[in-house]
Structure 1
Amino acid sequence: MGTLPDGIYRMSLDEQQRLTIMDEGSVVLLPAQDEGQEFEVRCSSGDDYSITMPTRIWPARYLCYDAAGAPPHKGDRVRLRVSEFPPCQWKITQGSRQGNFTIVVSGVDLTMGIAPVKVYPPWLELTSTADEGRGWNFEFVREP
């Protein structure tokens, strides 16, 4: 079993900004003013996870990065992808503080983080290092 049990979660950065999918599949952070969007997190092996929209629509909608099918690179945007199988695996590990986590591309030293461009809402991309002062929070909602 991995770091997190399989389940439906709300994901946030430091419990202040919620992970949200926009119409075109962009993944952004919005202020945590409401309950927020839900994501299904499933462990496939060890600490490797897939993150999907918790619907029974086929094919599924997976959280992935621009280079799906190719090697990931720093700066690839994190997006929602439609696929029949998980195109991206994420490694979720305990972060630097109690209750927060780091989300890393499995097998590569790239983390899910905020893009350095100054836009609103801020979008997510693959970054080379985790910001040690920040971390992802997973608020358990229910069993899948």
Structure 2
Amino acid sequence: MKNVILLLALMSFIQLTFAKEVGNTAYIGKWRIAPEWAGWFAPECREMEMQFTENGTLIRTTGKLVYESKVELINEGFRVKLNEKLLSHNSENTCAGKNAEKIIQHLYHSAYFTVSGDRLFYYRNKNKESLIVFSRI
């Protein structure tokens, strides 16, 4: 448990030190769950991906589910607030077997991220909880 807390504290420091602004396009590209975080997920979910495109969309893949959203990025402190509007999905199930309709509900809530080098720190809520670390692929 102490190692997890230490790791989270270190990552928070790194994020503060190397935070990127919206005007910077370091987030554009394809990201997969970072190897050091993959162990927190079921084996079938360790290949989750996010792809930020140059035309302002985000394509996510989790299991057989692929969905695309239009993104609005807003600087908010050292992080970027990510507002999304669903564009399409393929109606398949996620890696955890959940249906598409249940998963895409998270798009109604803002998420946050910051980029440091080849890592994207993704928060599913404002309180810095539910951190998932992605690595550039």
Normalised by the shorter chain, which TM-score bucket?
Answer: 0.3 to 0.5
- Which structure's residues are more often strand, by fraction? 1
Superposition TM-score, scaled by structure 1 size = 0.36
The one of the two structures with greater contact order (alpha-carbon pairs below 8 A, sep at least 6) is 1
- Which structure's residues are more often helix, by fraction? 2
Computing the radius of gyration from Cα coordinates, the structure with the larger value is: 2
Superposition TM-score, scaled by structure 2 size = 0.38
